[in-house]
Structure formats: C-alpha cells, structure tokens
Amino acid sequence: MNTFKSVFESYNWNDIQTKIHEITSVEVDRALAKSKRNLDDFLALISPAAQPYLEQMAQMSHDLTKKRFGKTIQMYAPMYLSNECQNICTYCGFSLDNKIKRKTLSETEIKQEVEALKKLGFDHVLLVTGEANYTVNIHYFLNAIAQIKNDFANISVEVQPLSTEEYEQLHQAGVYSVLVYQETYHREVYKEYHPKGKKSNFDFRLETPDRVGSAGIHKIGLGVLLGLEDWRIDSFFNALHLDYLQKTYWQSKYSVSFPRLRPAEGIIEPNFIMDDKDLLQLICAYRLWNEDLEISISTRENEKFRNNIIPIGVTSMSAGSKTNPGGYVVDKQSLEQFETSDERSPSEIGKIISNAGYEPVWKDWDKSYMNSN
C-alpha cells in the first residue's frame, strides 16, 4: 500500500528551508490574490516575506472562516486517562525517565471525571493517554469508550499509534476523530527527541494517519510540536501531509492543532521560539490555504492570544483543561503532561466567545438532529 512516506521522501528539509527564505513579496502578493491556493502559496504565506501582510491575512482569514463555518466555536475538553508511558521523549512530562507517580484511571474514576465534565457543560471529549501498550491498550480504550459513549455526543482520542484493525475497532466503538502528531518532520533529529520506546520509530508514526484514514475514521487531526524545530519548515511538511490525506482519504474531515512547547516535568527548553505573531501568521496561512480545515486552539495558549484569535480562523477551543489523569476531581495533584496557560473556567470562556459575537457550541446539534429522524 502506498503511504505518505513516498511523498515525504521526495522532499528535502534543507531545500524547503532555503525556498522559504528566498520567497519575495511578489510571491506573497500573488498568493493573496488567488481565490484557491496550493502548497506553494502556503509556503509563501508562512515565509518571513509575508510578515508585513499579517493584518491583511487576518482579515481574509476571518472572512473565509465566517463564510465556511459561521460564527461558532466548538467547545471540547481533554480527559487524561493515564500518564503511564514506555517512551522517553525529551519534551514531555510523561516521559519514562521522569521518576513520577504513574496513574491510570479505573472505571469508577472515569465515571467521576465524566460527571465533572458534564457538569461543566461539555458534550465533546478528547481522551488522552501516554503510550503504554501493556496497560493503556486497545482493550482499555474500548472499555473506556463503551463506558462513556452515552455521555458525550462526540468522542476523540489522542493515544499511541495503533494498527489499522485497531482503528477500525475504535471507529466501530463510536470514536469520531483521531489526533496524531508527528512532533517534528525533521527525520535526522527526530531520534534525538525520542531516544527510546516505540515512538522512536519515525516511519511507523509517519504512516499512522494512513492507517487512521484506511479505517474510515470521520476526522483526522494533525499537528507538530512547535518549538522543537523551525516552525515554518515543520508546518510546511504538516500541510503536505494534510494535502496528501485529503486527496487519498477524501471521505474524512481534517483538523490542525498548534501545540507550542510548554513547561513540564523534566523537559528541554524550546530550540526555536515561536512568538504570538508567528502563530497568528501560521493560523491565517492554514485558513487561506484550506478553508475547509478545522482549526483548534488549546489552553496551552495565553488568555490574551485566545481572546484575540476567536474571530480570525479558529473553529474549536478547549476550556478549563486538566492535563493530568483524574485532574478534574479524582487526583488533582497527579503529574501534568504540560502546564496550561489559560486557566479560566469553561463558563468564562463561553462568555468571552459570546461577547465577541460568536456562539460557543457545547452540543453536537447535527447528531441530535440525526437521532431524532
């Protein structure tokens, strides 16, 4: 079976780096003048040459997002099920070499966390775990999903890469979307960030979205960990990956997230600093390149940035997030995967979205409509 690997190997990291920095304002003007844009245009829009166009890009991004998605922001919450992990990753608080208390939620504890999330108003949940195949594996996932599927209209997962057959099982169990991040597409340094564990296999992770797409999952979410390597080059390869997936598994929807490296137990300092203007440029570039792409912003970002990004291109936001297993009620002191920056409550975020003239969507109305017919 052909996979994204064959496409990826036809590109070179250093060549893309050179190309980005050779882009001129003429090429940026040309990209902005188009009604439909390709990957070359995306490259122009994330280049240093596009920085003076940020205000224009933001207005265009706002207009496209409003046309395609209306003035709504889908609300979701992550629910961390486990911080057990068999990988050593130099940037993650769950890394195997961190001597921390490990915790995996029991059925009773999952129920308690679900009750807390429902009281906060959430109907969309993202299940997150470390990568520990002996404890949090497909059997654990299926059991957890069976336990909570009647409580949420929409269940997403962000867990270790699985086989096609296992993704098919998740699909049949009711999982709507799968998020998987390559972290960085820089093959040469990937091993330095992932020295031990199954995650050190660059190609297996690279081909994971192909397995997700083959399994018929409704939505696939990609992203890179911003701060590991040059954000512009990594983001180009992430867009290249999305472009391939959309053409190959056209029945699925797609989303992109923007995790910036945040403080956590035992992690490295970011190699590349990405400031707020850079992130705004990247979000606008994605929207101008692909108006159907869903764009998600988490509580990793600070309050000011999240307030200002609402009308520019975002389609979903988390709120009140806890990044530790049992963090809502069961075990508030267990180790976080990373620190959140925006610690405001879901109700506060909802009011801010409403005050901006947008509607915070807590319930999956499409599903409710389908169930009533």
Return d(Cα 73, Cα 94) in angstroms, integer: 30
What does the pLDDT profile of the chain (373 residues) look like in tens digits?
799 999 999 999 999 999 999 999 999 999 999 999 999 999 999 999 999 999 999 999 999 999 999 999 999 999 999 988 888 887 877 777 777 788 999 999 999 999 999 999 999 999 999 888 889 999 999 999 999 999 999 999 999 999 999 999 999 999 999 999 999 999 999 999 999 989 999 999 999 999 999 999 999 999 999 989 999 999 999 999 999 999 999 999 999 999 987 654 445 566 788 899 999 999 999 999 999 999 999 988 989 999 999 999 999 999 999 988 999 998 665 555 556 678 899 999 999 999 999 999 997 644 433 333 3
DSSP string covering 132-189: -TTTSSHHHHHHHHHHHTTT-SEEEEE-S---HHHHHHHHHHT--EEE---B---HHH
Amino acid identity, position 300? R
Per DSSP, the three-state class of 30 is: helix
What are the helix (H) ranges across the chain?
Answer: 4-8, 13-22, 25-33, 39-45, 54-69, 107-119, 138-148, 164-173, 187-193, 202-206, 208-214, 231-248, 276-289, 303-309, 346-355, 365-371
